[in-house]
Amino acid sequence: MSKGTFSVTTPIYYINAAPHLGTAYTTVAADTICRYQRMNGYDVAFVTGTDEHGQKIAETAEKNGMTPQQWCDSLAPAFKEAWELLDINYTDFVRTTEERQTRTVQDFWCGLYDAGWLYKGAYEGWYCVHEETYYAESDLEKNDEGEFVCPDCKRPVRRAAGEENWFFKLSEFQDRLLAFYEEHPDFIRPASRKNEIVSFVKGGLQDLSISRSSFDWGIPLPFDEGHVCYVWADALLAYFTGMGYDQIERGDEFERRWPIQYHFVGKDITRFHCVIWPAMLMAAGMPVAHTVFGHGFLLTKGEKMSKSKGNGLMPADLVKVFGVDAYRYYFMSDVQFGHDGSISMERMVQVYNADLANTWGNLVSRVTNMTTKYFEGAVPAASAGAESNPLREIADALYAEYDACMAEVDFTGAAAAVQKLAGRVNLYVEESAPWALAKDPEKADELAAVIYNCLEAIRIIALYMAPFMPNTSADVFGRLGLGDIAEVTDIEAATAWGQLPAGNPIEIGDPLFPRLDVDNLPEL
Ligand code: MSP
């Protein structure tokens, strides 16, 4: 029985370049929480996609000698391939150039037009094409040449001199938004991002231009043919499309899913998600997502990692070295979700060796080896010591701790809780010294109990590691003679102590995380 729906989105990524570690970071985080909540009994929807309209994409296509559509079609597979490589189990991938997105966007903005939330005017002001954002002059910075530059990407901004635009009456939402933040303390997380949004809204809101008339790469506004939708007024609605808003014969999917639990976004785009998007929804009479979680930036050598700065390594470069599961584990366990985090090759190797090669991998290998040696490769029946042992005590408390971390989107905490058990099993092996017990025929029951406890702890660790490292956990389940871990839909029940059947065949297999040759690492 499903516990209900659990729905998450990543940003709809610009299709100007293939995905890099920064975009992969959000996507892996969304996948990790979705995998967990599936194992926890929820009916999960996970929407990602590509943001394909707007001036930036049109200009990128032109520079590459293609039409915008050709450009998007040539690059979309790179996103799908990267997510496949990283084992991202999304439920929908929305390309904003799909027809269903056109239907959603036109339907939504026609509704707001009919309800009187839009008016036509002239936009006089500044625009950053790279960020696809309008800026007030007071927000801008100046470069060494004295030109106005974007406060975010530092590129020169362009002047839009009286372009005819349709405007959304965003300024009328100031009080409603402030009241909403007050009534929904979990809407903006982590809490540190909330003050910035509240003070921005308190400073007063400008009406928002939601159409462009100086170029045509976008979704046409049905009520004014010369206008295409502003790229953000299009992309935000991809969340609707992916959650089932436009089924031509709409079932109850959208109603069951909306409002969703989480929009995972980078901290640079929280304003769009915490100000513009909820105001659009309020105008349409629609409920707003429970939480916008604004994570931090990945930093390399102290700087935001981005492709345009030339420090953008691709996920595949790292997967080649570490494997996909270790890649996922590193980013989720070592970069606290919500904070900026420095990443480096040295640190990745350190985490790999400490947590994966020396702890988790080593544990599986030594215990399966001992089972083979002392019990002919079958799980021993545990007649003594199975009732109460130090591993069981930790395992029994683990669900509550792990689940609480996941509820806070604290991946680091959840991973640390599982590592604590893994570390304790290694220590337990040292303390109980099965190799000594094996020499004493009178200690046969004790030896069986020790090995049983270790194997059972490994089964439980594999379950909790599965959202982070799905392949390794599936592999470990296979080595324990267990069925398909992907079928688990009640992790709390599945991790209750004592379910590993005696007699199950145990396989040793290859090392899960072979030690790395640290001499040949690519540069980050
Ligand atoms: N197309 C918009 C989103 C529209 S959502 C309706 C967009 N796309 S993006 O491709 O530029 O960025 C997507 C996300 O990647 C942002 O949330 C951004 O914060 C994130 N990252 C880009 N570089 C990053 C790091 N170095 N570190 C972590 N995330 C970063 O914005």
Q: Is 19 in the pocket of ligand 1 (CB under 6 A)?
A: no
The predicted pLDDT at position 311 comes to 59
The predicted pLDDT at position 102 comes to 97
Per-residue pLDDT tens digits for 113-155: 999 999 999 988 888 989 888 888 888 999 999 999 998 888 9
Q: Does residue 150 have a known ligand-binding role? A: yes
**324 or 250: which carries more pLDDT confidence?**
324
Q: Is 22 in the pocket of ligand 1 (CB under 6 A)?
A: yes
**Closest residue (by CA) to atom 7 of ligand 1?**
13
Which residue has tokens 């304003």?
Answer: 271
Interaxial angle between packed helices 324-334 and 21-39, expressed in degrees from 0 to 180 and rounded to the nearest 10: 90
Q: 273 CA distance to ligand 1 centroid (A)?
A: 12
User: In degrees, to the nearest 5, what angle opens at C-alpha 147 toward C-alphas 143 and 151?
Assistant: 60
**Closest residue (by CA) to atom 25 of ligand 1?**
22
What b/e readout covers 34-56, taking b as 16+ CB neighbours within 10 angstroms?
bbbbbbbbbbbbbbbbbbbbbbb
pLDDT band at residue 249 using 50, 70 and 90 as cut-offs: low
Task: Please report the atom of ligand 1 found closest to the CA of residue 16.
Answer: 10
The predicted pLDDT at position 339 comes to 96
Q: Which residues pair with 148 in a beta bridge?
A: 142
Residue 62 has pLDDT above 90, yes or no: yes
Considering the entire predicted model, what is its pTM? Answer: 0.96
Mean pLDDT estimate for the chain:
94
Per-residue pLDDT tens digits for 462-508: 999 999 999 999 999 999 999 999 999 999 999 999 999 999 999 99
Q: Is 266 in the pocket of ligand 1 (CB under 6 A)?
A: yes
Per-residue pLDDT tens digits for 409-468: 999 999 999 999 999 999 999 999 999 999 999 999 999 999 999 999 999 999 999 999
Q: Is 458 in the pocket of ligand 1 (CB under 6 A)?
A: no
Q: 11 CA distance to ligand 1 centroid (A)?
A: 7
Domain parsing of the chain, residue ranges: 324-520
Q: Is 306 in the pocket of ligand 1 (CB under 6 A)?
A: yes
Q: Does residue 274 have a known ligand-binding role? A: no
Residue 385 has pLDDT above 90, yes or no: no
Q: Is 342 in the pocket of ligand 1 (CB under 6 A)?
A: no
Highest mean pLDDT among 38-52, 160-174, 311-325: 38-52
Cα–Cα distance for residue pair 120/365, rounded to 1 Å? 68
Quick one: CA torsion of 329, 330, 333, 339, rounded to 10 degrees?
-130
**Closest residue (by CA) to atom 18 of ligand 1?**
266
What is the dihedral sign for C-alpha 49, 54, 60, 63? positive
Cα–Cα distance for residue pair 137/394, rounded to 1 Å? 57
The predicted pLDDT at position 308 comes to 63
**Closest residue (by CA) to atom 26 of ligand 1?**
305
Interaxial angle between packed helices 470-479 and 362-375, expressed in degrees from 0 to 180 and rounded to the nearest 10: 10
Residue 179 has pLDDT above 60, yes or no: yes
> In CATH terms, is domain 324-520 a member of 3.10.450.50?
no
